């Protein structure tokens, strides 16, 4: 993309969505402003992280990309940065968020909105059964035959959970429930923090035809808290292994459901062909647990537990209209996940009966990255000596604000890369600037920008904050030096244990209105079976 940046209008973007042509609509603001107002399928894709995210999340370099902001000037910079990474069809949305609104487009609040809106549509059309918090508390008090399963990630469950609940993340439910509730008379209750994952989890069990009575905990831990009931903290209850007969029955039910939803089948030969296919974007996801993935997975597949993939689809697959390929080793989790993605308008394929020997790669997934800039590096021990000696040093930390609050190098400033120039204006000038972040990657891409803005030495902390901690160097915590506002993280009303009641109730009220917003927007393409 040379010369003048292309412009795409609301009408052009809407037409692509309605015709299900591939398009990546990217909101390049930080997460908090994104969460205040954005188009339905605008994926949050912050300017500061483009090099870290682009190759993994936008696999085809010639896919149509439209970037947007709300007049901050980030879109143009992002378009140029994407072009420098080799993307050839990049444009800016005419008028940004305001232009979308003025053209008659619907704007949505919060994050993961496509998935949450879809969950509300599922409940509205399928009348997903649910029980109020007071009803569930009554069952527990009467020692009724009831099993509560928490469909969130384990770390969310560990933070706060319903009394007696067991952690069973969403895609695991159909595979595991027969072992957790073997008596078909046992009442099964599915909860999450708010509504979406409990609705999808409950409806998954209903769709798969489990014999037990099943219901969602209405409004999740938010509803529990608003009812004045106490949550547990720090629980460790997890699902166990399943027998082969249980797996086989669950696989049969999941396959029948996937077939009904229009899920397609794929082979490893298809995977090889699609990797090099021109003119088509394909995402490859392993929907098992992180532990299973690391013990052995197919080459080129990214780990994304199935329940979270349904909940956060746009975070890992921002190209609307792309193909998604899923794999597991049991015939249940991929099919259940695919059944939902197909209803959300995706072309989804599941690979069947992969031989165990083909899960040959081990270890954590690594995102593909562009070449790292060449920058001078400084060891943690050297930086520590400089600080003790009183050298004129400023440490700029580009970690997420949550990580910065948890622990950072003493004296370090929190800085957003997207607001680097503004942050420098607010800080005193220094002779040496040391850049860091959790692992050093984001800081390394930021170093050339800082070098162009200051007349001083710019260094990269070798290994980032992890290396600093590994060298037994001290940390401080809290919002000690915020050179940028911590808008990289939207405060979710359903996370944590200290949310105001008004925020929790406001979140529920917002979710209740999502179906009406889908109707007004008209681009979703959802189909509930």
Where in the chain are the domains? 6-111, 118-238, 250-358, 377-470
Nearest to 68 by CA among 47, 86, 54: 47
CATH number of 6-111: 3.40.250.10
The two tokens of residue 257 are 């459901």
Report the pLDDT value the prediction gives residue 493, as an integer from 0 to 100.
Answer: 76
CB 472 within 8 A of CB 496: no
Task: Report the percentage of the chain scoring pLDDT > 70.
Answer: 99
Report the pLDDT value the prediction gives residue 3, as an integer from 0 to 100.
Answer: 63
Architecture of the structural domain at 250-358 = 3-Layer(aba) Sandwich (3.40)
Per-residue pLDDT, averaged over 160-187, amounts to 98
Report the pLDDT value the prediction gives residue 1, as an integer from 0 to 100.
Answer: 42
Q: Is the pLDDT of residue 509 over 90?
A: no
Q: Is the pLDDT of residue 125 over 60?
A: yes
Report the pLDDT value the prediction gives residue 36, as an integer from 0 to 100.
Answer: 97
Averaged pLDDT score across all residues of the chain: 96
Report the pLDDT value the prediction gives residue 4, as an integer from 0 to 100.
Answer: 85
pTM of the model: 0.95
Domains 6-111 and 250-358 share a fold: yes
Architecture of the structural domain at 377-470 = 3-Layer(aba) Sandwich (3.40)
Taking only the tens place, the pLDDT of each residue in 198-236 is 999 999 999 999 999 999 999 999 999 999 999 999 999
Report the pLDDT value the prediction gives residue 144, as an integer from 0 to 100.
Answer: 98
Higher-confidence residue of 59 and 503: namely 59
Report the pLDDT value the prediction gives residue 497, as an integer from 0 to 100.
Answer: 63
**Domain topology for 118-238:** Oxidized Rhodanese; domain 1 (3.40.250)
Per-residue pLDDT, averaged over 83-90, amounts to 98
- CA-to-CA dists, residue 38 to 29, 33, 220, 520, angstroms: 10, 9, 26, 14
Per-residue pLDDT, averaged over 431-454, amounts to 97
Q: Give kind and range of the element (H or E) at residue 414.
A: strand 413-414
Taking only the tens place, the pLDDT of each residue in 312-322 is 999 999 999 99
Higher-confidence residue of 528 and 505: namely 528
How far apart are the C-alpha atoms of 336 and 250, rounded to whole Å?
Answer: 10
Report the pLDDT value the prediction gives residue 459, as an integer from 0 to 100.
Answer: 97
Report the pLDDT value the prediction gives residue 260, as an integer from 0 to 100.
Answer: 98
- CA-to-CA dists, residue 464 to 193, 372, 399, 456, 469, angstroms: 33, 14, 10, 20, 9
Q: Give kind and range of the element (H or E) at residue 130.
A: strand 130-131
Q: Is the pLDDT of residue 286 over 80?
A: yes
């Amino acid at each position: 993309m040379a010369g003048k940046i292309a412009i795409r209008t609301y009408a052009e973007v809407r037409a692509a969505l309605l015709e299900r042509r591939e398009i990546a609509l990217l909101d390049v603001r930080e997460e908090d402003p994104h969460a205040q107002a954005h188009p339905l399928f605008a994926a949050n894709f912050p300017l500061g992280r483009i090099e870290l995210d682009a190759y993994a999340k936008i696999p085809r370099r010639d896919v149509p990309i439209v970037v947007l902001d709300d007049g901050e000037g980030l879109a143009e910079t992002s378009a140029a940065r994407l072009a420098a990474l080799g993307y050839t069809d990049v444009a800016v949305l005419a008028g940004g968020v305001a232009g979308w609104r003025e053209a008659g487009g619907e704007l949505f609040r919060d994050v993961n909105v496509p998935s949450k809106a879809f969950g509300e549509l599922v409940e509205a059309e399928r009348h997903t059964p649910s029980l109020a918090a007071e009803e569930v508390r009554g069952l527990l008090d009467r020692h009724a035959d009831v099993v509560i399963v928490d469909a969130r990630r384990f770390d969310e469950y560990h933070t706060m959970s319903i009394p007696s609940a067991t952690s069973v993340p969403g895609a695991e439910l159909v595979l595991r429930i027969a072992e957790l509730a073997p008596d078909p008379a046992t009442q099964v209750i599915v909860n999450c923090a708010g509504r979406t994952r409990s609705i999808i989890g409950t409806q998954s069990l209903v769709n798969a035809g489990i014999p037990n009575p099943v219901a969602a905990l209405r409004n999740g831990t938010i509803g529990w808290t608003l009812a004045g009931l106490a949550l547990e903290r720090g629980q460790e209850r997890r699902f166990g292994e399943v027998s082969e007969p249980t797996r086989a029955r669950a696989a049969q039910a999941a396959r029948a459901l996937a077939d009904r939803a229009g899920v397609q089948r794929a082979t490893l030969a298809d995977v090889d062909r699609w990797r090099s296919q021109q003119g088509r974007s394909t995402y490859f996801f392993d929907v098992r647990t992180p532990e299973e993935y690391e013990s052995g997975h197919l080459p080129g597949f990214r780990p994304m537990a199935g329940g979270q993939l349904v909940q956060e689809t746009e975070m890992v697959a921002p190209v609307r209209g792309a193909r998604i390929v899923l794999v597991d080793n049991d015939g249940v989790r991929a099919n259940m996940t695919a059944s939902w993605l197909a209803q959300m308008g995706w072309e989804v394929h599941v690979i069947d009966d992969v031989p165990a020997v083909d899960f040959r790669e081990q270890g954590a997934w690594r995102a593909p990255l562009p070449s790292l800039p060449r920058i001078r590096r400084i060891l943690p021990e050297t930086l520590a000596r400089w600080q003790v000696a009183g050298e004129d040093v400023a440490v700029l930390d580009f970690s997420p604000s949550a990580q910065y609050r948890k622990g950072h190098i003493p004296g370090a400033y929190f800085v957003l890369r997207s607001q680097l120039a503004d942050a420098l204006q607010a800080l005193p000038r220094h002779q040496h600037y040391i850049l860091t972040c959790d692992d050093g990657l984001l800081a390394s891409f930021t170093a050339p920008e800082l070098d162009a803005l200051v007349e001083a030495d710019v260094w990269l902390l070798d290994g980032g904050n992890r290396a600093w901690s590994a060298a037994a160097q001290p940390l401080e915590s809290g919002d000690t030096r915020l050179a940028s506002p911590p808008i990289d993280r939207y405060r979710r009303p359903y996370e944590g244990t200290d949310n105001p009641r008004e925020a929790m109730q406001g979140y529920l009220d917002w979710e209740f209105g999502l179906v009406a917003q889908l109707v007004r927007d008209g681009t979703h393409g959802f189909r509930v079976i």
